[in-house]
A = this chain, B = another copy of it.
């Protein structure tokens, strides 16, 4: 597939468009100057109008995969993989927002642009990162790559996510009457399905591909009574002599030219500073009185934007040869 001439718009299909991620993608594409949704699929709502008033949902098998430039698969775990392959076979580029391809199967490239931009540019199949890993990897990459982390001690991550991260299926546990005025840990003990993805990413950043090094960590997600947003509190074991100022300096160096990473020179970002924006905000602080030093790091971002649909558009922009920032709210 060649690049469009004359700034002609590209066409996209969203498979599984009625979930929170699909809806966010649809809303973002409505503001994108050069990429527009041509097909939105839903088995349950086929025939009904989609928000925005331009399109109606169709069944996935009625999407003309060969006529679009890019396909976003927002299907449930297990259902996405065959559709992603089918879309690629039909000649479309594919960004898969499910967890299906994040282990690299079928040659899928892991789509975290700030860390691995060059391979994304040439890819025809990109696995969009999970929301939780996005913040953790962006926060730790400059530290691991520069040897600031003591990987002999475990990294502790307590993360809290808004409810849209759990999807839009009708489940009793996600009813307003259950979630409001509540807060809970879930999938504790490194049992969350993002754990292998986090482990792979951290190992790769630590140079593990060549050395076999892994980064020990404890990841405990919590469910917040808010609609959107993730806040991750990381307790990072650092090598002697290193403190929050060094962490901030490394981030500043690494992300100086990155429009979608916001380094806080002081203070810790709160959740609401980043919602509705394609931004991950990072802050760090020292902890007094410890023998082996830890730095407290907070990463805040919108699970539906930088943690999903916005990042997917970054990837699509790269894959289609557009400016990476095109159409994205900062």
Contact = CB atoms under 8 A, between A and B. Distances in A.
Interface of A: 20, 153-154, 156, 158, 160, 163-164, 168-172, 174-186, 188-191, 216, 218, 220, 222, 224-229, 231, 233, 235, 268, 270-272, 275-276, 285-292, 294, 296, 298
B183 A271 contact: yes
Contact of A226 (B160, B169, B180): B180
Identical copies in the complex: 4
Given A170-B170, A176-B227, A182-B270, 15 more contacts: A154-B290, A160-B222, A163-B176, A164-B177, A174-B176, A175-B176, A176-B225, A180-B180, A181-B228, A181-B229, A181-B272, A188-B296, A188-B298, A218-B296, A222-B233
Given A154-B290, A235-B218, A177 B175 contact: no
A207 to B, nearest CB: 20
Given A168-B177, A268-B184, A271-B184, A287 B189 contact: yes
Contacts of A164: 177
A290 B184 contact: no
A183 B276 contact: no
Contact of A174 (B177, B222, B275): B177
A322 to B, nearest CB: 20
A289 B216 contact: yes
Nearest to A276: B276
Contacts of A290: 154, 216, 218
Contacts of A168: 172, 175, 177
A19 to B, nearest CB: 10
A177 B190 contact: no
A195 to B, nearest CB: 9
B226 A225 contact: yes
Contact of A288 (B189, B276, B287): B189
Question: Among A164, A170, A175, which residue has the most Cβ atoms of chain B within 10 A?
Answer: A175
Contact of A177 (B20, B182, B271, B288): B20
